[in-house]
Amino acid sequence: MKRTFNIIIIAAVALFVEVSCRRIVEIDSVEKGIFMDETEIGCYKDGHDYLVYDPLLHQLALNPKRHTLRLQTDNQMEFYHIDMESYPRTVGVTILADIHMMAGRESMEFTMAFECSKMESGKIWLWNKESKLGVIIPIH
């Protein structure tokens, strides 16, 4: 009886510690809420998809040692390239990344901080609050 009680206490403490160590990410805008519901690898801006991976149309290159990812069409007319200072390992961490994106005639290049907002199903959700830009990348 005492052993069963000890096992229950240990399980309860372990559950408490596991739950209390989870990082809660704030959904502070409609656009972030929409982005957090997305599931496909790609780039999302202002609550809309900017360039989303389709294996029939795109090439995806990932270099874990260099912390880079590139998604592009076969003719390279549309792409995004992200070069991260490090690969995020936990939700809630902030990383710096250089981004170069092009879709149609619109080209953008900038450096910004991304919050690691979610990690699940082999993917990482990175979000920049100021520009309302989100990127879903594969976990390597």
Identify whether 11 is part of a domain. no
Identify whether 56 is part of a domain. yes
pLDDT for the residue numbered 76: 87
Residue 41, domain extent: 28-138
Identify whether 17 is part of a domain. no
pLDDT for the residue numbered 14: 45
pLDDT for the residue numbered 17: 39
Number of folded domains in the chain? 1
Identify whether 3 is part of a domain. no
pLDDT digits (tens, 9 = 90+) for 54-100: 999 999 999 999 999 999 998 889 999 999 999 999 999 999 999 99
Identify whether 97 is part of a domain. yes
d(CA 95, CA 112): 8
Identify whether 5 is part of a domain. no
Rg (C-alpha) for the chain, rounded Å, is: 19
Query: Residue 14: helix, strand or coil by DSSP?
Result: helix
pLDDT digits (tens, 9 = 90+) for 6-57: 555 554 444 443 443 445 677 789 999 999 999 999 999 999 998 999 999 9
